[in-house]
């Protein structure tokens, strides 16, 4: 699989990716369109089926009304005059206008059929029954509009009462089966759209799409009968045409995507063969084979690229030194590196000896100053003190230079531990407090209230703080030194700000160079070898931290560094 994958060009991969993206987009579009179109189809089918149910309900109502009207007319014509003649003399000559009563569907044993009974009763003004006329509408005649109704392959109509029993549907005995559950019926009746998706409907399996309409004839309305005409069909029949279209589109989409992928792979092989040939030549060249020419019978850019490669191989072959000579040179280089390393070690040893010599001179000058005779002039004393300060600066620079040499040699070891920043700040402030008071400067310290630890070498962090605070004091003649500590989720930020002379913009980029020194400083006591800041930056970076400066000439400086928290 990996070999096959490596032989497909970038163009082919891109084509495959685009084809796959198009297939995904096509599938999503089909899915979203399907939901929207299916909903539209259901609305359209519901509206159509509801109209059918309404027409059939009206037809049933008309049949009942017509039968009731004809029965009442027959009764009035044949029986009402006789009733008036036989009425008692003390009663009015006219009886009340009769009404038609409708009963429940029942079985008539004489005719051996199911039917809807209609009764016309003549009462006199006293309320006594004068005569009764009975007739019946056969169930087949009553439900004639529903009998032969068909909707597609599975659709039919049914007459249902308010208890969810079947009054009529082709092939079913009245009131012998339930059309659906009572709860399903109530949901359908309460539906605002007059159509619903129903489950477990008589003579249907699975979900059905049902529309309904109440039977509201004049005669029906005066009775206690509550019927609904249902038009139902299997729910999947609504979206069946859409499903076929979607399936056809999906098959075509997959087919077209497969063709695109096959074509992309074919094209990829056409483009890949020259590329792989060139790649194999480059691999041979990388392994040192200077006879790694490639032969390709192609034109265009690929042919020109192959010619350029072969030309490069020829030039390399003509100018490259043989391996034996290179190996000898490598041996010489290793010898030189060993000598350099030995010189570095000797340099560190020389610095250590020089450091001891400087310490001896400092001790001698200190003793001389303490035992200086009274006849020594003030000018001589000042010269001796100035020399002592110079020796101190030199000793400080030698210490830093020694540490820098260890850092560059990778021999400076850190003693990492959890370090309370409050203790470090207090110690540094305490050490420099006399010097700050001597210059008349203000010291402001802002640190967090709770204990906050960093993971660091205590002595090295104190050394960095000492360098930065000492520089701030050295280059500030008036104003204040501000030391602040801020806590972040993963780091602790230290800032030392002053109101001193600041740093010119063109010198900020070089301030951390090992040989940098501000040329604007005229006082020799403020000059050194320029190693303090370089040393500080190196120490902070060994702690996986960062040191930077913000400054403007004449407006002071702010040196900031961050160290990781101790977790």
Whether residue 6 lies inside any domain: the answer is yes
Query: Do residues 529 and 494 share a domain?
Result: yes
If the chain, 567 residues long, is cut into consecutive pieces of 10 residues, what is the mean pLDDT of each piece? 46 65 71 74 86 92 87 67 43 52 83 85 68 82 89 90 92 90 91 86 90 86 85 84 71 73 66 72 72 69 72 72 56 54 54 58 62 62 63 63 68 83 88 90 89 88 90 90 91 92 84 60 51 85 91 90 86
Choose among 533, 462, 450, 534: nearest CA to 494: 462
How far apart CA 451 and CA 566 sit, in angstroms, is: 11
Asked whether residue 400 is assigned to any structural domain, the reply reads no
In CATH, what number is assigned to the domain containing residue 204? Answer: 3.30.450.20
In this structure, what DSSP letter does residue 565 have? B
Any domain includes 402: no
248 and 192 share one domain: no
**β-bridge mates for residue 151, sequence order:** 155
SS3 51: helix
Give yes or no: residues 382 and 520 share one domain.
no
Name the phi and psi angles at 147, rounded to 5.
-60, -50
CB 532 within 8 A of CB 471: yes
Question: How many structural domains comprise the chain?
Answer: 4
Domain hosting 516: range is 413-564
Q: Looking at the structure, do residues 275 and 211 belong to the same domain, yes or no? A: no
Can you give the pTM of this predicted structure? 0.41
Last residue of a domain, one of 238, 254, 278: 238
- Is 88 exposed, middle or buried (CB count within 10 Å of its CB: 0-12, 13-18, 19+)? exposed
Check whether residue 99 and residue 37 sit in a common domain: yes
Whether residue 207 sits in one domain with residue 93? yes
Q: Does one domain contain both 76 and 207?
A: yes
Q: Mark which of 207, 238, 269 sits at the end of a domain.
A: 238
Residue after which a domain boundary falls, among 319, 338, 353 = 319
Query: Which bin fits 424, alpha (ψ -120 to 50), beta or left (φ > 0)?
Result: alpha
Q: Do residue 252 and residue 216 come from a single domain? A: no
3-state secondary structure of 208: strand
Residue 538 and residue 514 in contact, taking contact as beta carbons nearer than 8 Å: no
The answer to whether 553 touches 546, Cβ cutoff 8 Å, is: no
285 and 375 housed in the same domain:
no
> CATH number of the domain that 537 lies in?
3.30.565.10
Residue 275 forms part of a structural domain: yes
Place of tokens 């200077």: 290
Residue 22 phi, psi dihedral angles, 5° rounding: -65, -40
Q: Which residues are within 8 A (CB) of 35 and not within 5 positions of it... i.e. 6 or more apart?
A: none
78 domain-assigned: yes
Tell me: do 383 and 510 sit in the same domain.
no
Residue 211 to residue 56: CA distance in whole angstroms: 12
At 95 the pLDDT is: 46
Q: Within 13 Å and on the Cβ side, how many CA atoms surround 136?
A: 17
Residue 404 lies in a domain: no
**Is residue 228 domain-shared with residue 263, that is, in the same domain?**
no
Residue 18 is assigned to a structural domain of this protein? yes
The residue behind tokens 């497969």 is: 258
Query: Is residue 280 domain-shared with residue 220, that is, in the same domain?
Result: no
Rounded CA separation 257/19 (Å): 6
Is residue 469 situated within a structural domain? yes
Contact 314, 291 (CB under 8 A): no
Q: Give bridge partners of residue 419 from the DSSP assignment.
A: 454
Cβ atoms < 10 Å from Cβ of 377: 8
**Helix/strand/coil for 553:** coil
């Amino acid at each position: 699989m990996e070999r096959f994958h490596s032989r497909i060009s970038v163009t082919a991969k891109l084509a495959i990716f685009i084809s796959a993206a198009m297939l995904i987009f096509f599938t999503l579009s089909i899915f979203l369109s399907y939901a929207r179109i299916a909903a539209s189809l259901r609305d359209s089918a519901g509206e159509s089926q509801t109209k059918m149910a309404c027409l059939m309900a009206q037809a049933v109502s008309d049949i009942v009304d017509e039968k009731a009207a004809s029965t009442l007319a027959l009764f009035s014509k044949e029986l009402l005059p006789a009733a008036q003649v036989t009425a008692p003399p003390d009663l009015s000559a006219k009886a009340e206008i009769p009404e038609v009563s409708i009963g429940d569907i029942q079985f008539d044993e004489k005719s051996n059929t199911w039917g809807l009974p209609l009764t016309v009763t003549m009462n006199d003004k006293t309320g006594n029954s004068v005569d009764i006329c009975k007739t019946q509408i056969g169930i087949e005649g009553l439900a004639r509009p529903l009998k032969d109704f068909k909707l597609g392959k599975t659709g039919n109509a049914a007459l249902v009462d308010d208890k969810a029993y079947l009054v009529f549907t082709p092939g079913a005995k009245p009131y012998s089966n339930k059309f659906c559950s009572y709860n399903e019926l109530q949901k359908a009746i309460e539906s605002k759209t007059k159509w619903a998706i129903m489950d477990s409907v008589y003579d249907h399996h699975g979900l059905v799409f049902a529309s309904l309409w109440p039977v509201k004839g004049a005669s029906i309305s005066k009775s206690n009968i509550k019927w609904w005409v249902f038009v139902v069909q299997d729910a999947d029949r609504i979206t069946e045409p859409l499903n076929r279209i979607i399936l056809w589109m999906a098959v075509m989409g997959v087919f077209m995507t497969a063709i695109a992928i096959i074509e992309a792979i074919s094209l990829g092989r056409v483009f890949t063969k020259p590329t792989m040939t060139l790649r194999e030549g480059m691999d041979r060249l990388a392994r040192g084979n200077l006879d790694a020419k490639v032969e390709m019978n192609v034109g265009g850019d690929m042919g020109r690229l192959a010619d350029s490669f072969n030309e490069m191989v020829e030039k390399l072959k003509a100018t490259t030194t043989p391996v034996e000579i290179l190996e000898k040179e490598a041996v010489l280089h290793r010898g030189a590196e060993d000598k350099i390393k030995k010189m570095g070690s000797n340099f560190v040893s020389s610095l250590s000896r020089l450091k001891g010599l400087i310490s001896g001179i400092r001790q001698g000058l200190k003793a001389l100053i303490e035992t200086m005779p009274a006849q020594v002039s003030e000018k001589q004393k000042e010269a001796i003190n100035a020399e002592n300060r110079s020796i101190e600066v030199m000793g400080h620079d030698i210490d830093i230079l020694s540490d820098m040499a260890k850092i560059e040699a990778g021999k400076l070891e850190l003693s990492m531990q959890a370090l309370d920043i409050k203790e470090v700040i207090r110690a540094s402030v305490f050490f420099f407090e006399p010097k700050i008071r001597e210059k008349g400067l203000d010291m402001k310290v802002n640190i967090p209230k709770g204990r906050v630890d960093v993971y660091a070498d205590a002595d090295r962090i104190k050394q960095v703080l000492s360098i930065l605070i000492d520089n701030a004091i050295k280059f500030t003649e008036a104003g204040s030194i501000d030391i602040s500590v801020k806590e972040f989720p993963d780091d602790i930020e230290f800032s030392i700000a002053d109101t001193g002379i600041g740093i010119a913009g063109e010198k900020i980029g070089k301030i951390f160079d090992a040989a940098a020194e501000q040329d604007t400083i005229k006082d020799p006591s403020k000059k050194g070898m320029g190693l303090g800041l370089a040393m500080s930056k190196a120490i902070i970076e060994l702690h996986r931290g960062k040191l930077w400066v913000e400054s403007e000439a004449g407006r002071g400086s702010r040196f900031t560094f961050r160290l990781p928290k101790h977790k």
